[in-house]
Structure 1
Amino acid sequence: MATRIPQEFIDEVTSKTNIVDVISKYVQLKKSGKNLFGLCPFHEERTPSFSVAEDKQIFHCFSCGRGGNVFKFIMEIESKSFPESVIEVAQMGNISVPDQYQVSDNNYQSSDSQTLIKMYEEAAKLYSHILLKTENGTPALKYLNGRDLDDKLIETFNLGYAPNNSNLLLQFFKNRKIDDSVLRKSGLFAENQEGELFDRFRDRVMVPITDESGNIIAFSGRILNKADGVAKYMNSPETSIFNKSKALFNLNNAKKTIRDNKNVILFEGFMDVISAYKSGVTNGVASMGTSLTDQQLYTLSRLTDQINICYDGDDPGVEATYRAVTQLNDDRFSYGVISVPNKKDPDEYIRSEGGEAFKNLVNNGVQTPMSFLLNYFKRNYNLSNEHDQIEFLNRSLNEIVKLQSPVEVDMYVGRIADEMNVSKESINKELDTLRRRMAIKRPANNNRNAEKAVLEKVTATVHSNYDRIEKSERCLLYWAINFPEIRINLKGNGFNFVHVNYQSLFNSLLSYGEQNDAEEINISDFMNVLDNDEKNLLAELEMMPMPAEYSDQEINDYVNNINNSDLETKVSDINHQLKQAAMVGDNKLQLELTKQLIDVRRLLSN
């Protein structure tokens, strides 16, 4: 059982951690002014509204409102408790964590998601043990070794083996007193016609699928002994922790290299990713389906703006590459194609030609999408035949006309002119004709661009619709947080904020200062004693563009505005009553209300 993590250890982790280093593992950050900005990892957006203040060690999203320190970030993105997030951040910084602070892995009484994550972790350990330590796993281990996967690589990807036993895993969890309802929701089991559960994966090499944080959320099982009517691969069904539209195989391992290399390589199969990893190409991922989804593209857009496609070199693989090239038109990315020679898949190529040859192909053999398309079209035509030449030219020009760069257009027009022995002038004339036809057909308003503009407008909006009173509260609270003399003066005068959320944060501020005997408030440490709403509000206030110093007149104005809020509310109420009195023609009431309004306004002006 883990003991409570003491404040001294939390302080040590805080002092040795830079929030930018941690968040950069999940978000591609770029400097803009004093802070760093990127796409928010908690919601989809086109315009970066997620900000990190390195000097204050906090983050805040101006769009969704989330904010906090490094521990809050890990709690949010990895669904961890505060103690778990402290340990996670410590481990990221190679800070030794005493055993008594470690959170137990055997607690199945937490949230549903955490329970399933723990179950998948335990299942992976069992499958790994069977593969590496038992006779049952020997055939599977020989199969993997035969594909040049050594024990180190097997352990890196946590590969395992599910034996041909229908209730091995079922009994494993029943012995741990896991309720049937949880077993049914886990996706690890199927049920027969009588409603009895049995192990979903049997006689399969097990490949764990992890989320971006490295938690195992699903399995892909490859059949070891092929039988008629049995699928070669079987994936976990979707659960509360696994959505195949979001998951990307190996993303957790590949994130750092993706950021460093400024590109990601998209493979078709998991074995291709693993073989590439062994060869030293560690920025590869694979999707759970045939094409990338919007959610997967958004995840990658936080890490890079270059996607290189490396599918199989056989005919189906080339067709899949063609579909990917023509369907991947998200303008957040540039695209490249790595064509594997001799109709081999990446895994076969690495095993036959060696890892260095594959690394050379990856580093020096990236084609542009247009170059791939021209080669793809040539596969389908006999260019010694005039009819096929015209067909090839028409298909090629229909793609070249989409290019925005005049240099690219000129380069590919020259390439086609040389290959077909025709003049560039005649091809350019064809292009001009094609452009005019396309301009006539083009709709006045491009729906995709219109939707993008709306999305950018929404995500770029900062929540700034505050009235005069609330603006005064926000500014005054900011100065009270950063200057002890202001909060001491406010406390001494028995000052109260109008809105409950600002008063609550102010109370927490006073309590924190007294308990820590601190005049200067460490914003990141202060976050640790706040609830979620207060953390978000504190981050929002601290990210406001404020001057370095305040003036006494400014503070007095804020205090007066807030203290007179009741009078301002009364003015608003009287004005509303005046309108109603005018509508019914009650002159006597109008006169009485006007006198009241004059009196209240006199008080306000004083």
Structure 2
Amino acid sequence: MISKSTIDKVFETARVEEVIGDFVNLKKSGSNFKGLSPFSEERSPSFMVSPVKQIWKDFSSGKGGTVVSFLMEHEHFTYPEAIKYLAKKYNIEIDETEQTNEQKEEASERESMYLVSEFANTYFQNIMHKTDFGKSIGLSYFKERGFTDEIIKKFQLGYALDEWQAFTDEAIKKGYQLKYLEKTGLTIVKGEKQFDRFKGRVMFPIHSMSGRVLGFGGRILGTNKKAAKYLNSPESDIYHKSKVLYGIYYAKQSIAKEDNCYLVEGYTDVIQFYQKGITNVVSSSGTALTPEQIRLINRLTKNITVLFDGDAAGIRASLRGIDLILEQGMNVKVCTFPDGEDPDSFAKKHSYEELAEYLKTNAKDFIAYKASLLMEEVQNDPVKKAALIRDMVTSISKIPDRIQKEIYVQECARIMDISEDVLFSTLAQMGKKELQEANKTYKKEQKAFEVVKSSAPRKKVDIQYELERKIIEALLLYGNKTEQFEDLVLKENKQGDLELEPVVHEAKVFEKIYLDLQEDEMEFSNENFRELYYVLIDTLNQDPDFALESFVNKVEPHIANEITHILMNDERYNLHDWERKNIFPKSKTHSVGQLVSETILSLRCYLIDKKVTDFKHETIENPSSSKTILEDVMNYSNLKMLLSRKLNRVL
């Protein structure tokens, strides 16, 4: 168990914008930050982070909360793991008690798989650095590749002994269960027998964006031609190849800072570049590039430079990935190395300055690159040239931004010496064809699920929910503020008539709300609001220095999410940059007293209307009690008239 003092220190130190900035490219938006949602596929930012309130809200998925809840949602951390991650990030010493065997057994399956992967990572490193076989085989291989001790340790490279059960036996001896060794793919089980998947290989751990070990890549060092040169961990609950990029943990901050990501093919390409000083580099780990991997980069930058070696066949196969990148609305450049060179070998032979200059000089826009690559094959063949132009226009058609699309058409027309009108016409035909295909698919789906159409009623606004929500919002934002409130009291004038006379008094917002609601003995209908209301009133009553940031950190996660939803709801309008369009939303702090009084009176009027409606139903069901009920209705109606007059005065 982590001590309360450690947890408090973590919350006091951690900055939500800094932590989330490691996973999402955040841009300043007024007093907040905004970025693309890490929980959904989107091209317009709907993810907001508030440094003042130390909370975040994702309007596309509805998720929100504190810095800890972000790590729990995004990285699937448990609460203690999120605290430990933040403690490590901010160099806070963790004070905790030793876990019992029972507590270890209670860990979830996913967590058990993470624990097994972490153990394996440490084990492979120890084998390489602390055993004779590891030093002479594994470590010497990496040294021959030109890697320094520092870079080997940074990327946590290791070695698996060339023995059938060395790792599995050690893991079981240390108390790790065989089923989790099998689920992570570290051990292969066949009947009664089990053996190590990665035996006799140098090991490359594959990390998540936050640094958790998800799986491994292993390179064989022997001369066995039947065995695969590179072997990856199989798909598991924690490792999905299509959603992971090798090196993203080490590169994320550099990618955001440089506003560009270099994409290579292999593990050693990444490590060699990093060692030379080009740190904004990741690899797809030998798999075809996927939309999920592209979106991972898209959170950090809009710019990708794809690096190819001199192998023409490999380049042509990789060109398909460029269209995927364009579809995500990203900017693509391509850079190739001389024949016989790949990013690893080229970086090894050159200094940082030479490598950086080469990348800068040789990185071409994808249109220019495609043209230069394929023009040699075309030569004077008009049919082949037409096919090449069509291929280039197909790539341009993937770009979602219309202005960017038009600029690329102009560039393509210049390079290929063809009329822009022809290219625009071809582009329009492609768009029309895609639209027709989409319509056909839609009609088929409609036909397949054809049912009697019924016009779905529009969802009604839950007035009571909205008013209760406003009361909670006022308590959260202004609960401890002292405000002037105008109460309207019925008094007899000189003519003997009753009229409303204003009486001004000062009170704290939470006191005003509590006393007014107590007067009506009102209970919140929403369970979360009811729970939050009593916690807030109790906290505000006891703590004169109430701080919203620390309060959010101390409540239950479901309540923290509700608070975030309330506090960040208005921030969604900042996503649209209204002020740039000369639209200035009115600040809520303009008149807190008026806002509170208006909300309470509106709620009281609404509840009276609800009560009167209930009386009507009761009269229909029990006509004998109509006289008594009628009196109650008259009393409530008079009260409603009085409250309405007060409300009109407030408004």
Point out the more displaced range, 150-159 or 404-413: 404-413
User: What is the distance in 2 between the residues matched to 1:19 and 1:296?
Assistant: 24
User: Which residue, out of 476, 500, 510, partners 1:487?
Assistant: 510
Give the AA of the match of 2:463: R
* Mapped contact 1:57–1:70 kept (Cα < 8 A): yes
The reply on whether 1:478 has 2:476 as its aligned counterpart is no
SS at match of 1:443: helix
Number of positions where the alignment pairs a residue of Structure 1 with one of Structure 2: 564
The equivalences for 1:161-176 within 5 A come to 161-176=159-174
Q: 1:108 to 1:336 in 2, by over 3 A?
A: farther
**Unpaired segments ≥5 residues, structure 2:** 398-403, 443-458, 481-507, 571-586, 643-651
Q: 1:342 to 1:164 in 2, by over 3 A?
A: same
Task: Report percent identity of matched pairs.
Answer: 27
User: What is the distance in 1 between the residues matched to 2:99 and 2:352?
Assistant: 40
User: What is the distance in 1 between the residues matched to 2:340 and 2:100?
Assistant: 46
Give the AA of the match of 1:415: I
Give the AA of the match of 1:4: S
User: What is the distance in 1 between the residues matched to 2:16 and 2:2?
Assistant: 26
* Mapped contact 2:56–2:564 kept (Cα < 8 A): yes
What is the aligned partner in structure 1 of residue 76 from structure 2? Answer: 79
The equivalences for 1:143-542 within 5 A come to 143-192=141-190, 194-288=191-285, 290-381=287-378, 383=379, 386=380, 388-396=381-389, 398-400=391-393, 402=396, 407-417=407-417, 427-428=419-420, 431=423, 434=426, 438=430, 441=433, 443=435, 466-481=461-476, 482-484=478-480, 485-492=508-515, 494=518, 496-514=523-541, 517-542=542-567
Give the AA of the match of 1:513: L
Give the AA of the match of 1:477: I
Return the offset for 1:103: 8.0
Return the offset for 1:434: 4.2
* Mapped contact 1:160–1:205 kept (Cα < 8 A): yes
Q: 1:224 to 1:483 in 2, by over 3 A?
A: same
Return the offset for 1:201: 1.2
* Mapped contact 1:42–1:77 kept (Cα < 8 A): yes
SS at match of 1:543: helix
Return the offset for 1:520: 4.1
Return the offset for 1:405: 5.2
User: What is the distance in 2 between the residues matched to 1:83 and 1:518?
Assistant: 27
* Mapped contact 1:37–1:48 kept (Cα < 8 A): yes
User: What is the distance in 2 between the residues matched to 1:70 and 1:127?
Assistant: 33
Give the AA of the match of 1:392: K
Q: 1:307 to 1:447 in 2, by over 3 A?
A: farther
Return the offset for 1:603: 5.2
Q: 1:30 to 1:347 in 2, by over 3 A?
A: same
SS at match of 1:528: helix
Q: Once the two structures are superposed, what CA deviation does each residue of 1:444-489 show, in whole Å capped at 9, x if it has no partner?
A: 68679x9xxxxxxxxxxxxx97422111111111112222212223
User: What is the distance in 1 between the residues matched to 2:314 and 2:612?
Assistant: 73
Tell me the TM-score normalized by structure 2.
0.78
What is the aligned partner in structure 2 of residue 32 from structure 1? Answer: 29
User: What is the distance in 1 between the residues matched to 2:368 and 2:188?
Assistant: 47
* Mapped contact 1:246–1:296 kept (Cα < 8 A): yes
SS at match of 1:60: strand
Q: 1:487 to 1:203 in 2, by over 3 A?
A: same
SS at match of 2:435: coil
Q: Once the two structures are superposed, what CA deviation does each residue of 1:489-514 show, in whole Å capped at 9, x if it has no partner?
A: 34446353222111101122233335
User: What is the distance in 1 between the residues matched to 2:432 and 2:112?
Assistant: 58
User: What is the distance in 2 between the residues matched to 1:298 and 1:105?
Assistant: 41
User: What is the distance in 1 between the residues matched to 2:432 and 2:38?
Assistant: 41
Q: 1:187 to 1:353 in 2, by over 3 A?
A: same
Give the AA of the match of 1:543: M
Q: 1:569 to 1:376 in 2, by over 3 A?
A: same
* Mapped contact 1:337–1:369 kept (Cα < 8 A): yes
User: Which residue, out of 569, 575, 579, partners 2:610?
Assistant: 569
Return the offset for 1:62: 2.5
SS at match of 1:337: strand
Q: Once the two structures are superposed, what CA deviation does each residue of 1:134-182 show, in whole Å capped at 9, x if it has no partner?
A: 1111112222111111221111111111111121121112112233333
User: What is the distance in 2 between the residues matched to 1:282 and 1:261?
Assistant: 10
User: What is the distance in 1 between the residues matched to 2:393 and 2:628?
Assistant: 74
What is the aligned partner in structure 2 of residue 458 from structure 1? Answer: none
Q: Once the two structures are superposed, what CA deviation does each residue of 1:277-313 show, in whole Å capped at 9, x if it has no partner?
A: 1121111111245333232222222111112111322
* Mapped contact 2:48–2:57 kept (Cα < 8 A): yes
Give the AA of the match of 1:537: E
Return the offset for 1:336: 1.0
Q: Once the two structures are superposed, what CA deviation does each residue of 1:422-460 show, in whole Å capped at 9, x if it has no partner?
A: xx6xx5575466467657756368679x9xxxxxxxxxx
Q: CA RMSD in A?
A: 3.4
* Mapped contact 2:116–2:176 kept (Cα < 8 A): no
User: What is the distance in 1 between the residues matched to 2:16 and 2:319?
Assistant: 41
Return the offset for 1:267: 1.0
What is the aligned partner in structure 2 of residue 558 from structure 1? Answer: 599
User: What is the distance in 2 between the residues matched to 1:603 and 1:3?
Assistant: 55
* Mapped contact 2:26–2:34 kept (Cα < 8 A): yes
User: What is the distance in 1 between the residues matched to 2:313 and 2:100?
Assistant: 44
Return the offset for 1:370: 0.6
